[in-house]
Amino acid sequence: MSAAVPQGRRPHHLTAGRIGVYAFLVTAALFFMLPLWIMVVTSLKPMEEIRLGNILALPAAMTFEAWTKAWSSACTGLECNGISVGFWNSVRILIPSVILSIIAGAINGYALSFWRVKGANVMFGVLLLGAFIPYQVFLYPLVRIFSLTGIYNSLTCIVLVHVIFGLPTMTLLFRNYYAGLPIELFKAARIDGGGFWSIFLRVILPMSTPILVVATILQVTGIWNDFIFGLTFAGRENLPMTVQLNNIVNSTQGERAYNVDMAATMLAALVPLVVYFVSGRWFVRGIAAGAVKG
């Protein structure tokens, strides 16, 4: 036959190395899927089934009871209104924090990369330094400052904290993205008579969609997953979902309701999960764009 003549597409053979790669990938996938699997099946089982100890088994009598209980009637300490309270608290914290921190970061990044303000590099360095100091160091001083100014333990307080701590990363992200845009665009806009705000709003911001998406993803997941700031600054009425989840899981008396704990955890993880699934493509692209250039 003519098989010996190299022609057209090169044939692919399944080699030992390739089998090894697939074996590794499948094992790794299973390893990371396993906890999720356990959480899902456990949350769908009644307690009798959980007591049997077959944690990997599918539920025999599937029920959503644990989910409804976790959402609306699980006990967080003394109150038993479920995790829904925390969910709405988190939403109330999330929306202004994300919007304000992105606006602040975008303006900062724009000013730093285009307007070359005097001392811009020093300021940027200080800002970056702030990003590397452990948060815990700031907690006590911030608590003192906020209680002195009288906004401690309020929604304003927690939003402000998120905006402040989001500033270094947001500024870095936007600065690097803007450093990759051609400077001639900015020059052209200046000759056309644009000022600081009109260039930002009319020329630069319309070109920022990719990085705005990335910033939104980072901030939504980051702020949603926050625990320590929420616990410290939000006040009792505004405790975010993460804190309430912890209360539900830790405040059980008598038998531990594993199914409710699992369901509550899944509910708390839902928002970041949805964000990742919806925007994974943008996320990778934007991270690369922000990292390589600049």
Single out the residue of 103, 188, 278, 284 in contact with other proteins (rule: CB under 8 A). Answer: 188
The total of other beta-carbon atoms located within 10 Å of residue 140's CB is: 10
Nearest distance from C-beta of residue 189 to other proteins, angstroms: 7
Q: Does 119 bind other proteins (CB under 8 A)?
A: no
Q: CA–CA separation, 248 vs 250, rounded Å?
A: 6
Q: CA–CA separation, 82 vs 70, rounded Å?
A: 5
Single out the residue of 51, 187, 256, 293 in contact with other proteins (rule: CB under 8 A). Answer: 187
Q: Could you say which residues in the range 143-182 bind other proteins, by CB under 8 A? A: 182
The footprint of other proteins on this chain (CB under 8 A) covers a number of residues equal to 16
- Alpha helices of 44-112 — where are they, by DSSP H? 47-51, 65-72, 84-110
Nearest distance from C-beta of residue 187 to other proteins, angstroms: 5
Q: Does 203 bind other proteins (CB under 8 A)?
A: yes
Stretch that binds other proteins, among 96-104, 122-130, 197-205, 276-284 (CB under 8 A): 197-205
The burial of 241, by beta-carbon neighbours within 10 Å (0-12 exposed, 13-18 middle, 19 or more buried), is given as: buried
CB 207, CB 162: distance < 8 Å: no
Q: Does 202 bind other proteins (CB under 8 A)?
A: yes
Distance of CA 250 to the CA centre of its chain: 24
Nearest distance from C-beta of residue 64 to other proteins, angstroms: 47
Q: CA–CA separation, 229 vs 157, rounded Å?
A: 10
Q: CA–CA separation, 107 vs 19, rounded Å?
A: 51
The total of other beta-carbon atoms located within 10 Å of residue 106's CB is: 24
Stretch that binds other proteins, among 33-41, 58-66, 200-208, 275-283 (CB under 8 A): 200-208
Give the residue with the Cβ less far from other proteins, 194 or 294.
194
Site residues for other proteins per CB under 8 A: 182, 184-185, 187-194, 198, 202-203, 206-207
